[in-house]
Amino acid sequence: MTYPILSARAKAREGWNGFIIVGLGNPGPRYARNRHNVGFRCLRELAARHGIPLDRREKNARVGRGVICEQPVLLALPQTFMNESGRAVAALARFYHVEPERLLVVYDDLDLPPGALRLRPGGGSGGHKGMRSITQHLGSEAFPRLRIGIGRPPGRMDPADYVLQDFSAGEIPLIEEALERAVLAIETWLSEGIERAMDRYNQRPPAEEAP
């Protein structure tokens, strides 16, 4: 699938043979430590590790351009709030003329235990409203995604309330370690391809591994 070029400015991007990596979350300090914002946190750690400032605004996103593992990358944090993430992601993909296999989205997943990672080359939204928005605006599900487990809400708690809470004290070490592994998974995806990254990082979190 090839995204249409929307403007004369976009034509200048055709020679940019790079990758777009998107972290999903809600903008603003109120949401910064929420479970729903692990995608934002992962992208910020990746950016800091490689000295890429996320100090520009493009297409309803905060972005930074740089090089990771010898690959040109655009890192993006949509500023549209989670449920409208697709507006920013599709606009960036079209503007930079990036093919779906060069677009990676990082986000939280209720169906994975805290700290687990799952990298996949494509698939459905799994009920995640940010991913649903992206697939609708792109018109495709055939793009890589990296899910970071946040676990299910306890008892009868509404999942919508749960994802907007901060992590518990017991979850924090698992999530911090998961974010470190997520950054390594992204670097492996860029340098060695998705199959190698999946083989290496689609594992249970350390607390769940057999002794």
Residue in the block written with tokens 């991913």: 131
Reply yes or no on whether 36 is catalytic.
yes
Active-site residue (options: 36, 97, 128, 137): 36
Count CA within 13 A, CB hemisphere, residue 199.
5
Burial class (CB in 10 A: 0-12, 13-18, 19+), 5: middle
3-state SS of the chain is CCCCCCCHHHHCCCCCCCEEEEECCCCCHHHCCEHHHHHHHHHHHHHHHCCCCCCEEECCEEEEEEEECCEEEEEEEECCCHHHHHHHHHHHHHHCCCCHHHEEEEEEECCCCCCCEEEECCCCCCCCHHHHHHHHHHCCCCCCEEEEECCCCCCCCCHHHHCCCECCCCCHHHHHHHHHHHHHHHHHHHHHCHHHHHHHHCCCCHHHCCC
Would you name the residues annotated as active-site residues?
36
